[in-house]
Structure 1
């Protein structure tokens, strides 16, 4: 499989190493100094593109892939207000797009555990729920995209919580998310339900970027030759 890597920071380099070790060919590496390569003549040679860049550039990068008729896997967070538009354009242009806030197989299983626990806690008003997420200091968005996914799952299942905020809160209808940036943490997410009697906590802790990078390559392998809008739930058959 021929891969275009859009974004060549630490994550892009980790993806490069895993993809190459699996026998794939990375034919295009685009970083901040080689944006001129984001054109159809270069992108169209790839079977799939993997995009890990910035909230400011992700939308533009994905459109470039659509224009080149190349399936694109994106893990960039912090730009999700434009995600509905991208999904609509993908369908309109008959392209292939897969986005998730976290490609780790473990995290995606953690998402399913979070949904199940939230559903169980919906009828237990004596429990308050809050979240803590810890990442390295180079992470540009807060809360993390993974934390937002977890929070949205909880809001959907627990009617007494109406919104989330990126701070601690005493408001009963609001869920607080505490974001910490500490090196060299690659990512820890903890959801806690607390009451006067006891606490229930679930945690996912990443030990390195390898899980995220490996998941992105798995997603790219799965997306090749497909059309439509997908997530890691489709890749891992968690539906």
Structure 2
């Protein structure tokens, strides 16, 4: 059954892009929606690959014309997902993956209630800070103020984890990659019933363990590390 909408969100520096890239290499018939943004390209980013880079004026025109499935302002820049992307994926018999922030995910869930939402958590603030510093160095400079602002933003975003169906803790990359792939497989099986193979049954069990209601034991130390109640 094509046309499933997968939403994945995570604080900046949580390793979400790495997970998404690996998922796209492992799973067939999964389109990735390239978002629009008004921020400048970073490092080796290319137009049409990571983002469609546009101006504030053009973005605002698209908002006025209701061309976005969701849009948000983050750190002074606009980000948005074209409404056309979901229709195009369905027309080509594919599911669609959206890599969007907490604000955008809320808008999408309101428009598409049966969307599958996945939240990726960093294991601790210290590990997240290290990842942010490493990324900043790779992009040409380390700005302590920016890193602190992103850490504060991460805590705010993690507070919204209950809004998501599945939770991944990205402490062991290979495990998080397998769990993400399992979630996509599980949701496809649930919506297109057929005889389940032994491998599919294993993946469904793995995905079930990532359901928010089943992930309390894994979440508790992460929430405590960020000073949040469980």
| TM-score category of the 2 structures, normalised to the smaller one | 0.3 to 0.5
Between structures 1 and 2, the one with greater helix share: 2
Structure scoring higher RCO (CA < 8 A, sep ≥ 6) equals 2
Q: Which has the larger radius of gyration?
A: 1
Between structures 1 and 2, the one with greater strand share: 1
TM-score normalised by length of structure 1: 0.36
TM-score normalised by length of structure 2: 0.37
